[in-house]
Structure 1
Amino acid sequence: MTAVEAEAGRLKEEADEPGWEVDPDDEWGVAVITTVGRQLKLRREAVGMRAAEFGRAVGYGEDMIYKIEGGKRIPRQEFLDKADEVLGAGGLIAAAWEDVKKVRYPKKVRALGKLEGKAVEIGLYECNSIHGLLQTPEHARALFEACQPPYSPDDVERMVTARMDRQSVFDRNPAPAIHFVMEEAPLRREIGGTMVWHRQLERLLELGRLWNVTLQVMPTKSDAHPGLDGRIELLKFADGTAVGRGDGAFNGRPVSEPRQLRILELQFNTIRAQALTPRESLAFLKRLLGET
């Protein structure tokens, strides 16, 4: 097999991966992907290439080319780069990735990821599960696959990819201060099986040791606390503004008024005070890992 054939085979496999479908409910995403697809088709026709011929040149099937040009499939960056080269677009097609990557994930995830990407301090309490920023891909996949009515395999993979992309918050520079509080019960639930559970506990220990992360566990035997109604989220920004949300306060809707934020912050700080300290929490996770 030649290097060209090997590259074409790799691109074909990537094209068939789930999770690159366009969300029909995402109007902005649909508009962007449709525009990119139309520009690609016009460029292909301008150089006199049929879809099948173009597909062979970039390593994609003819049907996939029609899906991308018709705005039904989100093109990967590698595809746009290859298409730019084959069509001699001088970087115009490759440059479309700057727009495509902004709509790569569902709009709800994009909105949350955008806020997390700007926050200088993040406080997160999760009542019934391990927070998405802390999950391994296998753990997240098991959760999505357990939903009823069930998601399609493509939707599951798209949501897992989106959730993992949000974890780039740990790689930010300057790094935000991130405070997690989680309940003991979800940590003991073997979601995905023993091996997936084992890896999830290891991941928590890895993240809990980061210098900008504090991770605390709320023991099951603890007394009542303000988080029993559900999750609490607090995000603070460099300009002094903040946004928060609590399942048990203000009907779960996002709030940004100082008075409302003070209530959420009081609740979150009370929860942190009742939980194990970060040192005690890491020791607890080590003990739990030793039981697996």
Structure 2
Amino acid sequence: MTVANRRKDGRAVPSPRTVDVAHQRKREDDRPGVWVAYGKLLRKFRKAAGYSQEALAPLLGYSPEQLASVEQGRRAAKAPLTEAAERVLNAGGVLTTLQEDVDLAKLPPFFRDFVLLEMEAVSRFGYDPLLVPGLLQTEAYARALFEGHVPVLGEEAVEDNVNIRLTRQKILTRGPLVDFSFVIGEAALRQELGGPDTMRGQYRHLMAMGKLRNVAIQVVPIGSGFHAGLTGGFVLVETSEHRQYGYFESQDIGHVVSDAKHVSTFALRYGKLRSQALNVEDSAAFIEQLAGER
């Protein structure tokens, strides 16, 4: 029997084993419920099909350890895993149904409320002064951004964040189409991430996205004097119920704004900002010129 040491105040000092168990329980409590539910279903389908983890894992492109983590709800399933599991295990679409919620649970808590609004949007207008908007980032640009994150992210966290960002971008082209407007500060376009090749690819991607019927991209040049975006970046969303919300974030802390007066101020600033930015055609030419400089 382990006898706990005592502090000067007489209280017991937990033994190392007690601390380890407490940490394990905390990790389990932190698991998103949908990850746990997905894992239980995956394990049920695997056993029903007669596979061990060692036999199934290579068929899904995972190691047995990674598959075990998914089944235990400690690791989020990615879309390719779900697609393979549906095919190999004949899951009947059950795992696919959960995938969107699994992806949503990967998001930082402060961002989830906004993404739920974004998923219901009929229009989304945003101003980004310092970085290319997440919905328009290439994989290489997003990876460079997360690899430079402070505090440092582990490799798995970097991959998860990149995957989440690319998954969110499906909203650009899925039906019914959402009306998008992106106003981007020139500083965001000139801030090099990942090297010249990454930036060249990012510029070309912006030009391609700007050709979509539901996407408008405008640039605010440096040195254009006072403009309505100098107070910082923000997003305006109108939902299918025609309710409008604002959103802004800084230092990994985000705020959804629902107060009608504040949302109205956001809308006024955004309208002014669009009039002060280069028009769509001139913005495309500006980005094309940047691509040629690399």
Question: Which bracket does the TM-score occupy, shorter chain normalised?
Answer: 0.7 to 0.9
Who is 1:209 aligned against? 211
C-alpha deviation, 1:130, in angstroms: 0.9
1:28-60 CA-partner distances (Å, limit 9, x unpaired): x63222233334445666787655456577776
What residue number does 1:20 align with?
none
Cα distance change of structure 1 residues 247 and 159 upon mapping to structure 2, 3 Å threshold: closer
Contact 2:245/2:256, CA 8 A, preserved across alignment: yes
Tell me: CA distance 1:80–1:74, structure 2 relative to 1, closer, same or farther (3 Å). Answer: farther
Q: Is the 8 A contact 1:246 1:264 kept in 2?
A: no
Q: Which amino acid aligns with 2:193?
A: I
Residues 52-81 of structure 1, C-alpha deviations (whole Å, 9 max, x = no match): 456577776543443333222334213432
Matched residues in 2 for 1:59 and 1:240: separation? Answer: 43
Corresponding residue of 1:77? 82
1:229-283 per-residue CA deviation (whole Å, 9 max, x = no partner) reads 22110001232211112469xx963222322211111111111111111111111
Q: Matches of 2:75 and 2:254 in 1, distance apart?
A: 34
After superposition, the Cα gap between the structure-2 partners of 1:37 and 1:238, relative to the gap in structure 1 and judged at 3 Å, is closer
Mapped to 1, the partners of 2:56 and 2:248 lie a distance apart of: 51
User: Size of the alignment, in residue pairs?
Assistant: 260
The 1:186/1:52 distance shift into structure 2, 3 A limit, reads closer
Q: TM-score, normalised by structure 1?
A: 0.77
Which SS does the other structure have where 1:229 is aligned? coil
- Name the residue aligned to 1:279: 281
Aligned to 1:181: 183
| Deviation by residue 1:127-151 (Cα, 9 ceiling, x = unmatched) | 1111111111100110111112111
Q: 1:45-84 maps to which residues of 2 (within 5 A)?
A: 51-52=53-54, 61-75=63-77, 76-81=81-86, 84=89
Distance change >3 Å, CA 47–CA 272, structure 1 → 2 = closer
Matched, 1:96 2:89: no
Q: Which residue in 2 is equivalent to 1:134?
A: 136
Further displaced range: 225-234 or 198-207:
225-234
1:107 maps onto 2:119 in alignment: no
Structure 2 SS opposite 1:161:
helix
Q: How many Å separate the matches in 2 of 1:58 and 1:280?
A: 47
Separation (CA, whole Å) in 1 of partners of 2:33 and 2:101 = 12
- Residue aligned with 2:235, SS: strand
For normalisation by structure 2, the TM-score amounts to 0.77
Q: Is the 8 A contact 1:52 1:62 kept in 2?
A: yes
CA–CA distance in structure 2, aligned partners of residues 156 and 54 of structure 1: 26
Answer yes or no: is the 8 Å Cα contact 1:132–1:163 preserved in 2: yes
TM-superposition CA deviations, 1:99-141 (whole Å, max 9, x none)? 2441124234554443222211111001111111111110011
Question: Match for 1:134: what amino acid?
Answer: L
CA distance in 2, matches of 1:198, 1:47: 47
- Contact kept? 1:201, 1:285, Cα under 8 Å: yes
Three-state SS of the structure 2 residue aligned to 1:228 is coil
Residues 279/41 of structure 1: CA separation in 2 closer, same or farther (3 Å cut): closer
Greater CA deviation, 33-42 or 254-263? 33-42
Tell me how far apart the structure 2 counterparts of residues 56 and 130 of structure 1 sit (CA, whole Å): 37
Q: Against the structure 1 CA distance between its residues 244 and 25, is the aligned structure 2 distance closer, same or farther, given a 3 Å change threshold? A: farther
Please give the alpha-carbon distance, in whole angstroms, between the structure 2 residues aligned to 1:219 and 1:246: 22
Quick check: 257-266 or 46-55, which moved more? 46-55
SS of residue paired to 2:184: strand
* Structure 1 residue ranges without an equivalent (≥5): 1-23, 86-90
Q: Which runs of 5+ in 2 are unaligned?
A: 1-26
Amino acid of the residue matched to residue 264 of structure 2? R
CA contact (8 A) 2:122 2:238 kept: yes
Q: Does 1:34 align with 2:33?
A: no
Choose 183-192 or 43-52, whichever is displaced more.
43-52
Deviations, residues 156-179 of structure 1 (Å, cap 9, x unaligned): 111111111111122122312111
